[in-house]
Structure 1
Amino acid sequence: MRSIKSKKKIYLPDPKFKDSLVTRFVNNLMKHGKKMKAYNIFYDAMEIIENEKKKFKDKSYDKSAIEIWKQALKNIMPNVSVKTKRIGGSNVPIPVSLQINSKISKSIKFLIQTSRERKEKTMSEKLALEIISAYKGEGNSIRKKENIHKIAESNKAFSHFRF
């Protein structure tokens, strides 16, 4: 057992939306320490979402772009994860329920990873369209979450081996 608990990282709010979750997302989006570039990608994606929102005359798009992004993250958030444990000479996947902090990090990583795999031209377009599809309940990031849930469900028999 660990005697000292790890400190929870405190994120400062971002300059535009004054939200610490945005800073956390941008830190995961950032490559090679280029934080301003990551902020610009995120803010451009929010503008694209605002422009896409005007095209649809649907009442579900009455929210602001940041609220759509937060709802998309909630839609992607997995409830369980699978960890492997060596039991009797074989590795067994064991379903484990997730803490809220790791749920948020997994959803952020899913969204960024699947948006990088898209075929659009710029990263801000990729991110915006992936956020919109996750908000609708579609897209690769939702499929990733469902795959993890399926694996955990199929290995439910090993849940008594929890760590």
Structure 2
Amino acid sequence: MSRKSVFNKKSILPDIKFNSILVSKFINLVMISGKKTLAESIVYYALDVLSNNTNKSHLESLENVLNNVRPVIEVKSRKIGGSIYQIPIEVKLDRGNTLAIRWIISFAKKRNEKFNIKIKLSNELLDALNNKGLSIKKRNEIYKIANANKAFAHYRW
């Protein structure tokens, strides 16, 4: 009998403005020290700028950005026979969205612009929509690592 407990996934409520769980997850990952209203204003401003530049709705443009940044495969470390292998594994949709949002937020914070986080996040979203920027570069690096370790895919279980 396995000792691992089954993880019950917590459900999050959709956001107020767009009634979307995806935007709510984005807001929760931007939030620092429990200041949700500040995180909401940051995300809504960035989505307004994004939708104004694309002439699409806020949710469509956010989904396009996440489709560009979302990784297809990633590598996991497994210890087999005393040596550690990087094994490529396909990424599920929820994990891919979480990784994409996390990368966008972290690279928006690291941008070398002398603006506030609202403008940095909107610029990072625009770069990700145009298939450039650090979050796209991160996705491509992980894809290259997974392709390089394709020979160890048979260790996956």
Q: TM-score, normalised by structure 2?
A: 0.90
Query: What CA RMSD, in Å, does the superposition of the two structures yield over aligned residues?
Result: 1.6
Q: How many residues align?
A: 155
Q: CA deviation at 1:50?
A: 4.4
Deviations 1:127-161 (A, max 9, x none): 10111111111111011001110000000001111
The answer as to whether partners of 1:68 and 1:132 remain within 8 angstroms in 2 is no
What is aligned with 2:48? 47
* Partner SS, residue 7 of structure 1: coil
Tell me, yes or no, if structure 1 residue 92 matches structure 2 residue 79: no
What is aligned with 1:28? 29
CA distance in 2, matches of 1:34, 1:132: 25
CA distance in 2, matches of 1:78, 1:62: 26
List gaps (5 residues or longer) in structure 2: none
What is aligned with 2:66? 73
The answer as to whether partners of 2:51 and 2:61 remain within 8 angstroms in 1 is no
CA distance in 2, matches of 1:2, 1:142: 38
What is aligned with 2:39? 38
Tell me, yes or no, if structure 1 residue 131 matches structure 2 residue 125: yes
Deviations 1:58-106 (A, max 9, x none): xxx2312332122101110101111111123222111111111111111
Q: CA deviation at 1:4?
A: 5.5
Percentage of pairs with the same residue? 37
